[in-house]
Amino acid sequence: MEFKRIGEPLFAQDPTGRPLSRVATVFLRTPGLVTLPGIHAMQRLAWVAALDADRAAAGATPLTDAERDAEFDASADLLLDGDTVLIRPDPSRMDLAFQADDFLQTLVSKRHIRFLNTAHAAVRNALRGRGENWRMSPLPQTLEEIIALIADSRSAIQHAPLYYYNRATGTRFLTCEAFRWLATLDDAVFRAQLDEIAHHCARHNRLGHPEIEVFPAACPFDRSAFAALAGPADACAALRLRHAALAADYEAAVPPTLRTDAPEDPEWRKAMCAALLKQANAAVSDEIVSGLSAEFYLQIEWLPGARIEDGELIFDPLFDDCAVHPDDAGLRDLCDLRAHGFIFNYVREFREIEYINIGRISRSLSRRDVISQRPTVYITEVKHIHTDEPVVRILRLQKWGIAEHLDEGKDLLRSIIEAEDYTDYILDRRLGCQQLGMNLAPQVVSRRISETYTGTQALYCGQTYWITYLERPYLAGWASDKIPPHRYENAAFNLSLARLLGAAAATNLIIGRTRSDRATVLFDDGDEIVLFDADDMPLNLLVSDNTGTFSHYRQPLLELAAAYAAPINRRARLMPNARAFAACYLSAFVVRFDSTRCEYLRRKRAFDKLFSHRTRDEGGSFAYRWECILARLAASRSEPLAEAIRKAIDL
C-alpha cells in the first residue's frame, strides 16, 4: 500500500530502548502516517506542512483551508504502548476508526491493535457488533499492572517526560513534584520546559480535553496560572522566582499525600490510576458489558468472536491466522478453539443471531484456591436480531471429563462412561440442592464441544473427544463477600443482608457444602450473589455455583455449625449495628432450617424416593449421599446449631 510517512517507523526506539514517540496520527484522505514526537496537534500541523511542501515542489498551490480541514477530519489519533497500537476513536466517527484499523493492519498484526474510549456506548457497541470485545483496551487488574500503567504513562511533549498521560482523553497530568523538579534544571532547559507548559496549559485537544492538567484535577490550583511563565525573555533569575512562587501555591493546594510521586503509596497510586483511566462519557463500571459487575468484568479476557451478516457466520479473521501459524503460542492462546466451538453451538441452535462475543475467566472470583491451570469458566454475550440487549451467560467446563479419565490411565470407553456418569451426578446434585431450598440460577443446560486429546496416554493422542460444559444465565448482582465496605454503613441494609445470609447459611449447612476435605465450609466466598431492589437494598440471594454440596454427609451437622459465624465476624467492624446483624442472621438461620426440616417430614416419601432410580452405593454415590443428608436433617434440631454459631461470634 502506497502511503506517506513522516517520522520513524511505529515502535522505533532510541539506543537506550525508549520509544522515540508514544503518539502517532493516521491520515486517511491522502493517506499517511505521522510518528514525530510531540502531541497530535503538532503532528497534524507537520502533516499539512509536508503536503504543502510536496505541492510546492510539483508547482501546485498550497492546500486551501477546506482541504486542510478535510485532511484533519479524515484522521485518527494513535497511542503506541509497547508492541500495541491503541486507536483513540471519535465516537461519532467509528467509520474512520475502522478505516484506520484496516490501514494499520497492513503494518501491524490485528492482535496488536486495540481501541480506547470503550466506556463510550457508541465505541463499545460498534466493537460488540463486530464480535470484537477482545479489542477493547483492557483495564489493569493486578497491583503490578497498575504500577506498570503508571510507569508507562510517563510522557513528554518535546522535552523531558514530565507528564502522566491519559490515553483515552489525551490529557497530560503535571504533578506537584514534577513541577518543583524543574528548578533543578540548567537555565536553557529550564526556560524551554516552562515555555512548553505555558504554551499548552490553556490549550485543548480536538476531543475538547485539556492538553495539560494539574494533579489531582479537583485541587484548587488552576492550571491557567502556568500561563504566567510565558512572556518576554526575562532574566532567568526572575523566571525562577515566578516558578518558585507558583510551585509553592500549587503545593499548598494539593493534599499532603499527593504532593510526592509515590507509586508504592496506595493513596497516591489509587488517585493517579483513577486520573489515568478516567474517560469522557464513561458508563458506570457495571454497565460496560450488559450489566456485568465491576469485580466480574475486570476478570474477563475477551477472545476473538464472530458476527452474522445476511445469515452467514463470519469468524474473526484471527482464527485463519492461527491456522496458518500453528506454532505461534500467543496467537494460539488468543484464538481459543473452545470459543470457536461455543460459537458453533450457538449458531447451529439459533437462527437469528447478530453477533457473539466470548470471554474466559482465567482467575477465580471466589476466595478459594484455583485448582485448574487452564481456564474452566467462560462468558458469552449473544445478541439476537429482534432483542434490544444481548444475553449474557456463563459456561463452566465439567471438572472431570474424558481427558481427565484418560490421563488416569483408563481406556476410552471407560473414560466416556465415567465422564457421562459425572455429568449425571452434577445435574442430580443440582436437583437435590433445589429440593432442599438452595436458591440456584433458574436454568442450566448441558452442552458439548469437541477437542483433540493431547494428554499423557500416547495411544489416544490426536483422538477427538468431547468436553461437557454447563451453561447458565449470568446473575447480575454482587458476590456477598465483595460488597463494597461503605454499604455496611447503612443499618437497614445490614439487616436485609443478614436475613438473606442467615437463611442461605441454613441451607448450605443442611446440604453439607464443604471442600473435599469435608471439614472446610464453602460459604460466603464468592458464589453467593446478592441481588438488589430499585432502592439498592438486598432483595434476594442466589447461589451461582453449588460446587462442594453433598460433600459432608455422614458426620453430624454440629461439626460444621461454628464455621457459620464467619460471615458475621468478617463484617462486624464495618457495621454500626453488628449485634443486630448477628441476631437477625441467627433468627433467619433458625427459621430456614426449621421450615426445610418440616417440609421434608411433611413430604417425606417424595423426598426419599427422588433418586431411588439411581444406583445406591455406600462408597459415595449420589443416591446414598441423598439418603444420608435426609436422615441427618430429620435427626437434627436448629437450636443447638444456632447456639454453636452464637458461641463462635466474636463481638
CA distance 359 to 300: 6
Q: Side by side, which strands form the sheet with 353-361?
A: 312-315, 300-309, 353-361, 377-384, 391-397, 464-473, 445-452
What end-to-end distance do the CA atoms of the chain give, in Å? 72
What CATH number belongs to 478-648?
A: 1.10.1070
Contact in structure between 291 and 392 (CB atoms under 8 Å):
yes
Tell me the range of 106-115, 136-145, 304-313 where mean pLDDT is highest: 106-115
Dig out the grid coordinates for 38 from the structure: 510531540
pLDDT per residue as tens digits for the range 463-488: 999 999 999 998 888 899 989 888 99
Backbone angles phi, psi at 33, to 5 degrees: -145, 135
Q: Where are the domains of the chain?
A: 4-117, 143-277, 289-473, 478-648
Q: Place 292 in a pLDDT band, splitting at 50, 70 and 90.
A: low
Contact in structure between 78 and 26 (CB atoms under 8 Å):
yes
Torsion angle, alpha carbons of 448, 431, 426, 467, to 10: 0
Check residue 513 and report its DSSP letter. -
The angle that helices 622-635 and 578-602 make with each other, rounded to 10 degrees, is 110
Per-residue pLDDT at 205: 87
Q: Which residues pair with 358 in a beta bridge?
A: 303, 380
Per-residue pLDDT at 475: 87
pLDDT per residue as tens digits for the range 368-392: 544 445 568 999 999 999 898 899 9
Q: Which helix or strand (DSSP H or E) is residue 303 part of?
A: strand 300-309
The count of C-alpha atoms lying within 13 angstroms of the C-alpha of 564, restricted to the half-sphere facing its C-beta, is 31
Per-residue pLDDT at 428: 96
Backbone angles phi, psi at 241, to 5 degrees: -65, -45
pLDDT per residue as tens digits for the range 623-647: 999 999 999 999 999 999 999 999 9
Per-residue pLDDT at 320: 87
Give the mean pLDDT of 250-277. 89
Per-residue pLDDT at 140: 74
Per-residue pLDDT at 237: 86
Residue 10 has pLDDT above 90, yes or no: yes
* Residue 317, preceding peptide bond in cis (omega within 30° of 0): no
Q: Which helix or strand (DSSP H or E) is residue 578 part of?
A: helix 578-602
Sign of the dihedral defined by the CA atoms of residues 288, 291, 294, 298, in that order: negative
Backbone angles phi, psi at 533, to 5 degrees: -90, -175
For the ranges 75-79, 227-231, 285-289, 431-435, which has the lowest average pLDDT? 285-289
Using a 10 angstrom Cβ sphere, with 0-12 exposed, 13-18 middle and 19 or more buried, the burial of residue 324 is exposed
Check residue 257 and report its DSSP letter. G
Per-residue pLDDT at 232: 62
CA distance 480 to 478: 6
Q: Place 281 in a pLDDT band, splitting at 50, 70 and 90.
A: very low
Cell 497498575 appears where?
146
Dig out the grid coordinates for 150 from the structure: 503508571
Per-residue pLDDT at 484: 86
Q: For residues 10 and 278, which has the higher predicted lDDT (pLDDT)?
A: 10
Its pTM stands at 0.75
CA distance 226 to 242: 10
Please state, for a pLDDT cut of 90, what percent of the chain lies above it: 65
Q: Side by side, which strands form the sheet with 478-479?
A: 478-479, 528-532, 538-543
